[in-house]
Amino acid sequence: MFFIFGDSRRGTGVVHFRMESLIICTTKQSGMVRYSVSLDDDLTKNIDKLCEMRKISRSEWIAEACATHMPGSTGSGAAGATLLPFAGPDTAGLHNMPDYEATYRNFRIDVPEYFNFGFDVIDAWAAKDRNKLAMIWVNQQGEEKKFTFWDLMRLSNQIANMLIKYGINKGDKVLIMLPRVPEWWTATIALIKRGAVYCPAPTMLTAKDLKYRINIAEIKMVITSEEHADKIDEVAKDCPSLTCKMMIDGKRKGWISYPVELDYPAPVSAKLVTMPGTKKTKSTDPLVIFFTSGTTGEPKMVLHDHSYPLGHIVTARFWHDLRANDLHLTLSDTGWAKSAWGKFYGQWIEGSAIFVYDIRSRFNPTEILPLIERYGISTFCAPPTIYRMLILADLDKFDFSELRHCVSAGEPLNPEVIKAWKDATGLTIYEGYGQTETVLCIGTFPGMTPKYGSMGRPSPGWQIELHDDHGKPVPDHEEGRIAIRTTPKPVGLFSGYMNNEEENRKTFVGDFYYTGDKAYRDEDGYLWFIGRDDDVIKASGYRIGPFEVESALIEHPAVQEAAVVGSPDDIRGLIVKAFIILKPGIKPSDALTREIQDHVKKVTAPYKYPRAIEFTETLPKTISGKIRRNELRERELKKFMNGNSAGKKG
Q: Quick: pLDDT tens for 506-518.
A: 999 999 999 999 9
Is 288 strand, coil or helix? strand
> Which amino acid appears at position 570 of this protein?
D
Q: Residue 649 pLDDT > 50, yes or no?
A: no
- In this prediction, residue 392 carries a pLDDT of 86
- Tell whether the model's pLDDT for residue 83 goes beyond 90: no
Name which of 233, 248, 143, 278 is nearest 188 in CA terms.
248
Strands (E), 30-187: 32-38, 133-139, 144-148, 173-177
**Would you give the end-to-end CA distance of the chain in angstroms?**
74
Predicted confidence band of residue 203 (pLDDT cuts 50, 70, 90): very high
Question: Which amino acid, 378?
Answer: S
pLDDT tens sequence across 520-551? 999 999 999 987 777 778 776 666 878 879 98
Q: Residue 451: what pLDDT?
A: 92
Mean pLDDT of 176-183: 98
Looking at every residue in the chain, the average pLDDT score rounds to 86
- For residue 644, the model assigns a pLDDT of 62
Q: What is the pLDDT of residues 26-51, one digit of tens each?
A: 444 434 444 455 566 766 777 777 77
Give the domains, in start order, of the chain with CATH numbers: 13-108 (no CATH), 536-649 (3.30.300.30)
Residue 71, pLDDT above cutoff 50: no
Cα-Cα-Cα-Cα dihedral sign, residues 617, 618, 619, 624: positive
**For 186-196, what is each residue's pLDDT tens digit?**
999 999 999 99
316, 121 contact by CB (below 8 A): no
What's residue 224's pLDDT?
98
Q: Which among 428, 436, 492 has a CA at the least distance from the CA of 460? A: 492
Q: Please report the pLDDT score of residue 315 as a whole number.
A: 98
The residue that leads in pLDDT, 437 or 85, is: 437
Q: Where are the beta strands (DSSP E) in 9-162?
A: 13-19, 22-29, 32-38, 133-139, 144-148
DSSP state of 84: P
Residue 398 has pLDDT above 90, yes or no: yes
Residue 154 has pLDDT above 80, yes or no: yes
pLDDT digits (tens, 9 = 90+) for 559-618: 999 999 999 987 777 899 999 999 999 999 999 999 999 999 988 878 889 999 999 999
DSSP-assigned letter for residue 432? E
What pLDDT is attached to residue 92? Answer: 53
* Buried b or exposed e, range 322-343, using 16+ CB within 10 angstroms: bbbebbbbbbbbbbbbbbbbbb
pLDDT at 287 over 60: yes
**566: enclosing H helix or E strand:** strand 559-569
- 76, 69 in Cβ contact below 8 A? no
pLDDT tens string 458-486:
999 999 999 999 999 999 999 999 999 99
Q: What is the pTM of this model?
A: 0.80
Nearest to 3 by CA among 110, 81, 99, 104: 110
Residue 448 has pLDDT above 60, yes or no: yes
Q: Quote the pLDDT of residue 428.
A: 95
Give 324 or 90, the one with higher predicted confidence. 324
648 pLDDT more than 90: no
> pLDDT band at residue 625, thresholds of 50, 70 and 90?
confident
List the beta bridge partners of residue 613.
578
d(CA 310, CA 439): 10
Greater model confidence, 158 or 265: 158
User: How much is the pLDDT for 162?
Assistant: 97
* pLDDT above 50 for 23: no
Q: Above 70 in pLDDT, residue 292? A: yes
**Residue pair 545/560 in contact by the 8 Å Cβ criterion:** no
pLDDT tens digits, one per residue of 301-346:
999 999 999 999 999 999 999 999 999 999 999 998 999 999 999 9
Q: What percent of the chain has pLDDT over 70?
A: 85
Whether residue 6 is predicted with pLDDT greater than 50 in this model: the reply is no
pLDDT at 209 over 80: yes
Q: What is the pLDDT of residue 20?
A: 38
Q: Reduced to 3 DSSP states, what percent helix, strand and coil does the chain have, rounded to the nearest 5? A: 35, 25, 40
Q: pLDDT at position 239, please?
A: 98
